[in-house]
């Protein structure tokens, strides 16, 4: 009998579920989002089971990189506001959304209390995790196109870029977004904005106890454009001249139609 028990322990067969090591669990409701002419954003639902001993949770959705971004900073020159500095940014995610919950993450409350990011980042950094603008700033590259950079200039520009993206819903931190029940099951949603770029999105769920990562779970989301939106995007990427001509024709046609309508209305 004893050799049989040893064999079962080695294979993990015939043992109660509680006696086996629990694996991280996080599931996504859908893996594909289609962007069409009528797309107005979509909520992406995730759920799963916390690991034993979980005190904090952090879930990061990151979209594909946007390539190089050019920014112009305006300043007062005499009586006018003009572009005084130009910058080129790279290594920036197209979407950066964070859902989190802080201790007590023990399943005794339906909604976790707000995360203090000032306290979160120093402790999470030791586990290799940064949250919010600090995470974006840590890997972004900022190049000044208008002379030598000034100390602290890159940080200021990246903070401004974060605010611009946040205004469009592309960057966000929701510190109280994750709900958890008494059994440790959790759920939450990400709000994918209208301006979401197409591509492969990576969603990583971190289960933490103090500054230790108990486990991680990863999901993938694919965002694709369809119909006229997809055709227009491909045209802009592959035939820039044709795209420019097409947009000019649309603008001229729209202007002509508006003029004809108002002229007809004025005749009555």
What tokens does 254 get? 């729209």
What tokens does 133 get? 């603008």
Does 26 have pLDDT greater than 80? Answer: yes
Summarize pLDDT for 163-185 with one digit per residue, the tens.
999 999 999 988 888 988 888 89
Helix (H, G, I), strand (E, B) or coil at 252: helix
Query: Is the peptide bond preceding residue 86 cis, with omega within 30 degrees of 0?
Result: no
Question: What confidence tier does 8 reach under pLDDT thresholds 50, 70, 90?
Answer: very low
Residues 151 and 258 in one domain: no
How far apart CA 252 and CA 258 sit, in angstroms, is 10
Summarize pLDDT for 208-229 with one digit per residue, the tens.
887 678 889 999 999 987 655 5
| pLDDT for residue 17 | 42
In a domain, 13, yes or no: no
Place of tokens 């990189």: 65
Q: Chain-wide mean pLDDT for the chain?
A: 76
* Top-confidence range, 11-25, 27-41, 113-127: 27-41
What tokens does 48 get? 């799963």
| pLDDT for residue 135 | 85
Residues 124 and 219 in one domain: yes
Query: Is the peptide bond preceding residue 104 cis, with omega within 30 degrees of 0?
Result: yes
Residues 155 and 220 in one domain: yes
Cβ neighbours of residue 134 closer than 8 Å, sequence gap 6 or more = 121
Summarize pLDDT for 116-162 with one digit per residue, the tens.
566 667 766 666 777 788 888 888 998 888 877 778 888 889 999 99
Residues 234 and 263 in one domain: yes
Q: Based on the structure, what is the number of domains in the chain?
A: 2
In which domain, by residue range, is 237 found? 226-268
In a domain, 12, yes or no: no
What tokens does 27 get? 């599931």
Question: What confidence tier does 236 reach under pLDDT thresholds 50, 70, 90?
Answer: low
Residues 259 and 205 in one domain: no
In a domain, 204, yes or no: yes
How far apart CA 75 and CA 219 sit, in angstroms, is 44
In a domain, 11, yes or no: no
Question: Which is more confidently placed, 117 or 246?
Answer: 117
| pLDDT for residue 253 | 66
Place of tokens 């000019």: 248
Residues 237 and 140 in one domain: no
Residues 158 and 255 in one domain: no
Other Cβ atoms less than 10 A from the Cβ of 79: the count is: 5
**Averaged pLDDT for residues 231-252:** 56
CA 228 vs. chain centroid, Å, equals: 25
How far apart CA 190 and CA 60 sit, in angstroms, is 10
What are residue 102's phi and psi, to 5 degrees? -110, 170
Cβ neighbours of residue 149 closer than 8 Å, sequence gap 6 or more = 142
């Amino acid at each position: 009998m004893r050799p049989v028990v040893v064999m079962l322990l080695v294979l993990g067969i015939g043992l109660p579920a509680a006696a086996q090591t629990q694996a991280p669990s996080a599931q996504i409701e859908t893996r594909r989002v289609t962007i069409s002419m009528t797309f107005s954003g979509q909520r992406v639902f995730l759920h799963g089971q916390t690991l034993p001993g979980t005190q904090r949770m952090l879930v990061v959705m990151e979209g594909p990189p946007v390539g190089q971004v050019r920014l112009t900073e305006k300043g007062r020159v005499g009586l006018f506001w003009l572009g005084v500095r130009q910058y080129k940014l790279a290594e920036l995610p197209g979407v950066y959304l964070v859902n989190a919950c802080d201790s007590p993450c023990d399943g005794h409350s339906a909604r976790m209390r707000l995360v203090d990011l000032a306290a979160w980042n120093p402790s999470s950094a030791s586990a290799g995790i940064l949250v919010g603008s600090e995470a974006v700033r840590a890997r972004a590259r900022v190049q000044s196109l208008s002379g030598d950079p000034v100390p602290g200039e890159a940080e200021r520009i990246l903070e401004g870029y974060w605010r611009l993206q946040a205004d469009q819903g592309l960057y966000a931190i929701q510190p109280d977004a994750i709900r958890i029940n008494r059994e440790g099951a959790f759920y939450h949603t990400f709000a994918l904005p209208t301006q979401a770029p197409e591509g492969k999105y990576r969603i990583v769920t971190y289960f933490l106890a103090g500054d230790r990562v108990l486990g991680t779970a990863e999901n993938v989301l694919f965002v694709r454009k369809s119909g006229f939106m997809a055709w227009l995007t491909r045209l802009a990427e592959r035939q820039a001249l044709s795209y420019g001509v097409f947009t000019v024709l649309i603008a001229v046609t729209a202007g002509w139609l508006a003029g004809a309508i108002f002229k007809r209305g004025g005749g009555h």
